Amino acid sequence: MKSAQHGRHEGVQTLQVGEESAGQRIDNFLLSHLKGAPRSLVYRILRRGEVRVNRGRVKPDYRLSVGDQLRIPPLRLAAERVPGSPGPRLLAALRDRIIYEDANLLVLNKPSGLAVHGGSGLSFGAIEALRALRPQARYLELVHRLDRDTSGCLMVAKRRSTLRVLHELLRAGGVDKRYLTLLRGTWGPEVRQVDVALRKNVLRSGERLVNVSEEGKAALSLFHPRTIYGETATLVEVGLVTGRTHQIRVHAAHIGHPVAGDDKYGDGAFNRSMQDYGLRRLFLHAYRLELDLPSTGHLKVTAPLDDDLQAVLDALARI
């Protein structure tokens, strides 16, 4: 592999896993440890067995344990990119959108249009902005992700131990995540369960596209209708049993009720009609999280709809 101009060379690294990294996937550890390393390189050295844990090969989903001995091969990496800095207006806005915080966890009501992290041409995302907002914080890491155009509850761990606990809860279905979304057409009062497997594809451009496929991963969504706006649209609460990429948007489109403002899986005519009611974005909002944490006990956090989405509902209520 040729070195990039002004790049740097990393010799063989031998590391011992400490308490703070225990429970983390090896691929995620390498992505954060090898600054400037592209994802493709990280997965290539894992696939080829060049990364060794306790002298053996491991798969990308291997979870580190305290005392594990890591050997990372010599690499040539591009010089670390100096990320752009979020401006003071964004930092002030994010400060006002922190809806819960304790010594272990922070929950941000993420605005639509802000990615959760930088990359793919973005200088920064929500996590980089939060680190700039809290330069004294020793540890801030995303617990999960939201699509760039989705607003609402985003959990950020303030301790490695908290991140491990939350990841275990997410895997075991111990986090009740609820979304509000506006769907095309009239939906009766019944709750609808959508149990359809989804397959993620990554296009050459890097864009992610998800489709219904028996070869995909299991995905289960529970749709609870809340308000019907004539024959035009229905406000629906969605509970996610699984957390696949674009799950709500693809499931909603699959059953004939696409999400308002969805320019990837939605209905163009419906989206244009919603613009008449003031909709200028994807109508998908992560409005509630409910879970039990050893440190805090039962926790329920709610993020109210942003003013722009509430204004759309107010306009629909007048029809």
pLDDT in tens, 218-238: 999 999 999 999 999 999 999
Which pLDDT score is estimated for 119?
62
Q: Could you give the residue numbers annotated as active site?
A: 147
The whole-number pLDDT of residue 20 equals 72
Architecture of domain 88-166: 2-Layer Sandwich (3.30)
Q: What is the pLDDT of residue 84?
A: 60
pLDDT tens for each residue of 75-117: 876 555 445 667 888 899 899 999 999 999 999 999 999 988 8
pLDDT interval class at 10 (50, 70, 90): low
The whole-angstrom separation of Cα 302 and Cα 193 is 23
Q: Per the CATH hierarchy, to which homologous superfamily does domain 8-77 belong?
A: RNA-binding S4 domain (3.10.290.10)
pLDDT tier, 296 (very low <50, low <70, confident <90, very high otherwise): confident
pLDDT of 41 = 86
Question: Residue 56's pLDDT band (boundaries 50, 70, 90)?
Answer: very high
CB-based burial, 191-211: b 16+ in 10 Å, e otherwise: ebebebebbeeeeeeeeeebe
The domain locations on the chain are 8-77, 88-166, 174-317
Band the pLDDT of 299: cuts 50, 70, 90. very high
Q: Does CATH number 3.30.2350.10 belong to domain 174-317?
A: yes
**Mean local confidence (pLDDT), 277-284:** 97
Q: Do domains 8-77 and 88-166 have the same CATH topology?
A: no
